[in-house]
Amino acid sequence: ALHAAHVARGAEFEVVGQWMRPWYFPKPGESMHDAVQRECRAVREGVGILDASTLGKIDIQGKDAREFLNRIYTNAWTKLDVGKCRYGLMCKDDGMLMDDGVTACLGDNHFHMTTTTGGAAGVLDWLEMWHQTEWPELEVYFSSVTDHWAAMAINGPDSRKLLAELTDIDLSNEAFGFMDWRECTVAGVPARVFRISFTGELSYEINVQANHAMHVWNALFDKGAKYRLTPYGTETMHVLRAEKGFIIVGQD
């Protein structure tokens, strides 16, 4: 949904799964190394923005959704409260790491699972296979919503200040802690905001219906000018997450 905005900003692209993702955003005369160094510095010192829309997203519902998550992930989900998120690791039947991502509790029997960009279709197949062939007694349903939601991650020390200009919810640490999510409006649009981080910095991932994506993206840049909001691509994402010791499944 945001592809045209990236083209307009001069992005170089790379193929990730079935998608073209912004690789880096060179300014005139910049090498790839120069651009990545500038983008990394912006996230560490100010605020950067990443289009995370390509992450796989699976809506999971049913009275046995928690039990299913307990079985399909390596970690526990029984006590995850509504409004909270948890990082999950998923292994294949040989015990090797298959995929990872953050899953949020939307309701007692309702979860929003994210997957890697390239692993989305495979994970959905994996969930369906185990449900249909091994645990058919569980009442749980899966729907791919990857295309339904556009996701924009704002990262860095100034990310809270920027988001505060576009929403009326309390963003303090006490009201909105790490690994929490909130339903709210951003730039006048209904949104789900997740306080999760793949950079180690203060971060918010803003999810809106895809047809509202360009409006919210432009609003972020309008309000973010004073904070020198900087778009960054997948190469900078790799540097930032590696500095924090975060993994990317299939590449590390």
pLDDT at residue 252, as a whole number: 74
Does the pTM surpass 0.85? The reply is: yes
Integer angstrom CA distances of residue 235 from 39, 50, 92, 241, 246: 10, 11, 28, 10, 14
pLDDT digits (tens, 9 = 90+) for 105-155: 999 999 999 999 999 999 999 999 999 999 999 999 999 999 999 999 999
Q: Is the pLDDT of residue 250 over 80?
A: no
**Distance (Å, rounded) from C-alpha 75 to C-alpha 91?**
11
pLDDT digits (tens, 9 = 90+) for 160-192: 999 999 999 999 999 999 999 999 999 999 999
pLDDT digits (tens, 9 = 90+) for 189-226: 999 999 999 999 999 999 999 999 999 999 999 999 99
Integer angstrom CA distances of residue 25 from 15, 29, 35, 40, 191: 15, 12, 6, 12, 27
**Distance (Å, rounded) from C-alpha 97 to C-alpha 95?**
7
Confidence band (pLDDT; 50, 70, 90) for 40? Answer: very high
